[in-house]
Amino acid sequence: MKKYEDWKGNMDDFLKIGDEVDDEFYEYFLNVLPPASWTSSLVQIGEPHSHVGGRATYATIAKVDGKWIYRGHCHRGETSHAK
């Protein structure tokens, strides 16, 4: 599990797709900016990371089997890393 307290530097260097993150990371994703998407099983940071296919992508965590999992940079409301 990746812990928010251990994070230093670039988030993309620290988190890899599929990493479980702790509740503090969930709070960060939720509160750093108003979220782009927020449901009981999905949180996306409100500022776009990049654009793929003319659509913005957002750093995304999704709840899987009761755990928050980093999903990469996904289109709004989606949980698959955009390529």
Name the residue among 17, 24, 7, 6 with its Cα closest to residue 59: 17
User: Where would I find the H helices in 1-83?
Assistant: 11-14, 23-31
The residues spanned by each domain of the chain are 4-75
- CA separation, residue 7 to residues 56, 76, 81 (Å): 25, 25, 21
- Based on its alpha-carbon atoms, the radius of gyration of the chain, rounded to whole angstroms, reads 12
Q: What is the pLDDT, as a whole number, of residue 65?
A: 97
Q: What is the pTM of this model?
A: 0.95
pLDDT band for position 22 (cuts 50, 70, 90): very high
pLDDT, tens only, 27-75: 999 999 999 999 999 999 999 999 999 999 999 999 999 999 999 999 9
